Amino acid sequence: MGLFSGIGNALRVMADSIDITKPRDQWDLQYWGALGGGMSMANVVVNDRSVSGLGSVQSVRYGMSSSLSTLPVSIYRKGAKGSRTALPDHPLTRLLSARPNRTTKPGEFISEIGWHLSYYRNAFARILPPGDGLGPEPYGLGGLDILHPRRLAQVERRYDGHLYYTFNPPATIVQNSSLAPETYRDDEIWHLRGNPLREDGLLGEPIWESARNVFARAIAVHEYGDIWFANYGGTGGIIEHPGTFKDKEAERDFLDTWRRNGTGRNRHRDRLLKYGAKYTQLKVTNSEAQLLETEDAADTAVFGLWSYPPHRAGRLKRSTNNNIEQQSLDFVIYCLAPLAIAIEQAAEGDLLLDNDDNSLFVEFNFAGLLRGDLKTRYAAYLMGRQGEWLSANDILRFENMPLRTDEGGDDYKNPLTKDSGAAADAAADEKPGQLSDANDQESDDEG
């Protein structure tokens, strides 16, 4: 079944890439050279590696992955009236925030899983069995080991109703070893899927397939720019020859000599035209002169696929001091939060093995990314203190500062009204005594 399924998938990819309305060229890469990605309307190959080579994609990758790796993640238990209690010693908290496996750091693990999910729309991690010293024996989860989506060879549902994932050996060692593909059942794999899903619903569709033409335009524009600068930003020209060449070889030799003496380090040197030939420089067209604007538009379209603010990649054309903070909030809300929520939901559904009562949940803490500048934070803290829903120690925790050890550190009473209220109470307590003393004095005077 696996062999026939693989052949069928290959034939479907080939059929999808062929346009029967056009004359077929048997040497066209559209038909034979790009089964892993396919040709686009811009006549460039779009696949995993060609797309990942774009600078805009690398900017998105670093910005999203690095930000996601800085977020604290923990398991929480729901309490009465919406309260929550962090569980720092829970086995899954330790795996996600301290040590996923023996070689991968937590920041590396979260950032890589996040990028695989957003780029390949599939992320895989092998669930290591207990007994390797990472997870407690009774919990049943020993660790998590990342499996790169490029290694996936096949996913199939077998007679027992389970999904089986087959992974090829890593490409870096496959030539130097006799390792065979490895197959895991769905309860041995942590699989995160992103939208959109493929037709069978088993895998997510990689972003370069669902947005092929967007990436193709960006690749074509940047390739054009590379050729443009390789030719010193010139468009060439026309050589008018009054006579004829002896043969084609003489013509090619003349052109090769002319081009060789006018490119590379010779591009600005003087050249000699013989035999009455005349050279006319072609003018730069408007589209060529607007190359930077075209590149910027192509990159902005790529950023839009992830809702990634261009200012984070140094594109400050539409950014000002007034809207840069709002754009940063948009990055957290519309770009990073959906990715974090997808990881949270996948972890809750597949890795929380002791959640029969649904009281446990996984959550990333975005407080660090949502903090404003110093003045804005202090103004917000003051509102919380005066509103009596923040204590001094709550604020100190937000600022990672030592807590107060006196009794007032955990007091939620408004500090501006607390002392005045106590003085009023003291004055009220003193008034009856003062009146009594005055009455006694009047009685003594009458007597």
> In the prediction, which pLDDT does 444 show?
54
Q: Specify the pTM.
A: 0.72
Question: Is residue 336 located within the same domain as residue 242?
Answer: no
The predicted pLDDT at position 314 comes to 79
Co-location of 168 and 240 in the same domain: no
**Looking at 370, 388, 403, which one is the last position of a domain?**
370
CA distance 230 to 207: 31
Residue 137's CB is within 10 A of a number of other CB atoms, namely 9
Let me know whether 58 and 112 are in one domain: yes
Domain boundary among 344, 370, 396: 370
Which domain covers residue 148, as residue numbers? 46-232+286-370
- Contact assessment for residue 74 and residue 365, using Cβ atoms and an 8 Å cutoff: yes
The reply to whether 199 and 116 lie within a common domain is: yes
Residues 160 and 133 in one domain: yes
Q: Does 388 reside within a domain?
A: no
Identify which of 220, 223, 224 has the alpha carbon closest to the alpha carbon of residue 235: 224
pLDDT at 1: 43
Residues 186 and 321 in one domain: yes
| pLDDT, one tens digit for every residue, the chain (447 residues) | 444 444 444 444 444 444 433 443 433 433 333 334 556 666 788 999 999 999 999 999 999 999 999 999 999 999 887 778 889 999 999 999 998 988 999 999 999 999 999 999 999 999 998 865 555 555 778 899 999 999 999 999 999 999 999 999 887 655 555 678 999 999 999 999 999 999 989 999 999 999 999 999 999 888 887 776 766 666 677 878 777 878 888 888 888 887 777 776 666 677 777 777 887 777 666 666 667 788 888 999 999 999 998 888 877 776 666 667 677 788 888 999 999 999 999 999 999 988 888 899 999 988 877 776 677 788 888 898 888 889 988 888 877 788 888 888 888 888 888 665 555 555 555 555 554 454 555 555 554
Q: Both 278 and 130 in a single domain? A: no
